[in-house]
Amino acid sequence: MSTAIYTRRLVEHRYGRPLEKLQRGNASCRSDDPVLPILLRRLDGLAQTGADARSARRNLDAAWQRHRSGEHALDDLVLLYAAEVVDLERQEQSEAEAVWDLLDVRLLLDRASTQRPSAHRTIPAPDEDLLATAREVAAGLHRLNREALRRGLRDRGVHVSNRRLGAVLQRLRAESTSR
């Protein structure tokens, strides 16, 4: 399967529609996807480069067949077509990678729109087992700080996230000031 065909199928898979429908939707300006027009232009360029590469491969094949039949004057022509095929294949690969990158950008844009963080993040309340262990650790500390508490909890086999550790630390400090 050629790179252009693979990339087209990948675009159709990611968008869930055939390319023709995507092009019609983009032409009628019914798409709210900011990446789609750029992606379709890149895909057209990739298809053109793929067609040019196929044509160059046919020319190379024909020149090679004539060279093999004894026409040695065609050595330069074979080398010319071979260089053209190499250049077009590199161009095709870089254009395909640009389309793939655009698909990744679209994926990130979709993910960001569905997972908007709330303005006020709530810190989870620490459970009592964690608090009891943290109180034991804090009792043996000269100074209560984040790193010392984290080290003491880890020594006891308790691993907590930074957010939970912050909540435990706040609670312990609140308890020590209320005494």
Give phi and psi for 101, each to the nearest 5: -65, -40
* Dihedral sign computed on CA atoms, order 166, 167, 173, 176: negative
Helices then strands (H, E): number in the chain? 7, 0
Give phi and psi for 95, each to the nearest 5: -65, -40
Residue 43's alpha-carbon distances to 16, 21, 31, 54, 108, in angstroms, are 16, 14, 17, 16, 20
The overall pTM is greater than 0.75: no
- Per-residue pLDDT of the chain (179 residues), as tens digits, is 778 888 888 888 888 888 888 888 777 766 677 778 888 888 889 889 989 999 999 998 888 888 777 766 667 788 888 899 999 989 988 888 888 888 887 766 665 444 555 555 555 666 888 889 999 998 888 888 888 999 999 998 888 888 888 889 888 888 888 76
Residue spans of the domains in the chain: they are 3-114, 128-178
Buried b or exposed e, range 111-125, using 16+ CB within 10 angstroms: eeeeeeeeeeeeeee
